[in-house]
Amino acid sequence: MTARNELRLLPWSGPEGKPCYLSTDDRDGYMSRLADDIEAVQLGMAADLLEQALEVLGDEDAESGELRPLATKLTEALWDVLRVATSRGHLLAVSEPHHS
């Protein structure tokens, strides 16, 4: 069980797109490390995609046909980054001491 009965939101979805959660005290356990690794890949891919988007948007000769696939990829990356931020925000809230 995680500290204070908190569940970790995992960086992948279950059946029908429903969120998956992990309940463990072991932040160095296999599933925790796997989730950390996948989050790192997702964040790296989002950073690469952002660079690509900046190039396309900065190119005055870019065709409008390039924008729809780019917007789709950016939306997917933003979804992943939001999930990572939500998960890590919950982890921070659990690990930080509460001040009165």
Count other C-beta atoms under 10 Å from residue 11's C-beta: 20
DSSP 56-100: HHH-TT--GGGHHHHHHHHHHHHHHHHHHHHHHHHHHHHHSPP--
Total-model pTM? 0.74
- The strand pairing partners of 8, in sequence order, are 22
Over the stretch 73-82, which tens digit does the pLDDT of each residue have? 999 999 999 8
Give the pLDDT band of residue 88 (cuts 50, 70, 90): confident
Which are the contacts of 56, defined by CB distance < 8 A and separation ≥ 6?
62, 66, 67, 70
Q: pLDDT tens, 22-62?
A: 998 888 999 999 999 999 999 999 999 999 999 988 988 88
